[in-house]
Amino acid sequence: MSRANDREIVSLQYNSDKNLHARQALHRGFSTNKYGWENWVFDQYIFNPNDKVIEFGCGNGSIWAHNKNKLPKNIEIILTDLSEGMLKTSKNNLSGVNQIVNYCTMDIQNIEYENNSFDCVIANHMLYHVPNRDLAISEIARILKPEGTFYATTNSTYSLAGLKDLVRNFDSRLDYASFSVAKEFGLENGIEQLSKHFDSVEKAVYEDSLHITEAKPLADYVLSLEGHVNIHDIMTENKIKDFHEYLEEMILRDGSIDIPKCSGIFICKRPKK
């Protein structure tokens, strides 16, 4: 078990959408690909009339919220998460979206639905947090109909490498450089894991980068990694102030902080029964 899928750490990290929101805010505010991650991911989904859809680890429901006006009227969506706080936020963000018929806490490793129940299963940026990922993927294949599709997003192992260097140069005691969710399940190793349970696995990549011109959103992003990174051990109030000044000096000197990033989606069909 790693810090990426330690249940205690993950529970602390996602008991509300505070940390997730801080990270989303940086990407939304400073991404160079202006089409938008939420729009691009939704474009990959193919929904047919009367489809039954379930998402695991729905978080604050941002992809649905950004695309609620594009949803077909005749599909049924169930949103699940381990965090009741996330589900509450998601429900608030998606008030009035009639296609979402239920919000419930559920463990992807032990799915409480019968075989062949769903036309579409979604797991966005969450499989790397699952302790027994192989069991989770087998459960997804089990509940999917034979003609169903599983969509799973994640990051490249090389995404935001520049941010890790930036944090390490500020204080080498911060262990952000050694933390990587994508090493658990990323664009480079996801096909191998998914192919055990699906006969067809395709990958699509969303190219992007960050052009950051404000210090606070970047500082908030780094501080949001509490638990995954030893933030509380190092970042005292004075140290946080120093970190803000460190970032502001870089932006003043160079005009911006530019960091490459890369994420994508796996589209999986023909589940192995």
Mean pLDDT of 206-215: 97
User: Which pLDDT value is given to residue 228?
Assistant: 87
User: Which pLDDT value is given to residue 87?
Assistant: 97
Mean pLDDT over all residues of the chain?
Answer: 95
Mean pLDDT of 78-84: 97
Name residues whose C-beta falls within 8 Å of residue 241's C-beta, 6 or more positions apart in sequence.
none
**Is the pLDDT confidence value at 232 over 90?**
no
Among the ranges given (6-10, 84-88, 95-99), the one the predictor scored with the smallest mean pLDDT? 6-10
- Between CA 264 and CA 221, with CA 216 as vertex, the angle to 5 degrees is 35
Q: Partners of 204 in the beta sheet?
A: 265
The secondary structure of 172-223 as a DSSP string is TT-GGGG--STTTS-TTTHHHHHTTTEEEEEEEEEEEEEEE--HHHHHHHHH
Nearest-10 crossing angle of helices 161-170, 237-254:
120
User: Which pLDDT value is given to residue 3?
Assistant: 80
- The DSSP output letter for 70 is G
Alpha-carbon distance 149 to 267, whole Å? 7
Alpha-carbon distance 235 to 229, whole Å? 11
Q: How confident is the model at residue 1 (pLDDT cuts 50, 70, 90)?
A: low
- What the chain holds in terms of domains, given with CATH numbers, is 7-271 (3.40.50.150)
User: Which pLDDT value is given to residue 58?
Assistant: 98
Among the ranges given (87-96, 229-238, 263-272), the one the predictor scored with the smallest mean pLDDT? 229-238
Alpha-carbon distance 81 to 58, whole Å? 6
Q: How confident is the model at residue 11 (pLDDT cuts 50, 70, 90)?
A: confident
Please tell me the total number of residues recorded for the chain in this structure. Answer: 273
User: What per-residue string of b and e applies to 108-141 under the rule 16 or more CB within 10 Å gives b?
Assistant: bbebeeeeebbbbbbbbbbbbbbbebeebbbbbb
Parallel, antiparallel or unpaired: strands 198-212 and 52-56: unpaired
**Is the pLDDT confidence value at 256 over 90?**
yes
**Is the pLDDT confidence value at 183 over 70?**
yes
Nearest-10 crossing angle of helices 237-254, 215-223:
140
Of 259, 205, 190, 160, which Cα lies nearest the Cα of 37?
205
Decide: 224 and 22 in contact? Cβ < 8 Å. yes
Among the ranges given (133-142, 143-152, 172-181, 258-267), the one the predictor scored with the smallest mean pLDDT? 172-181
Q: How confident is the model at residue 148 (pLDDT cuts 50, 70, 90)?
A: very high
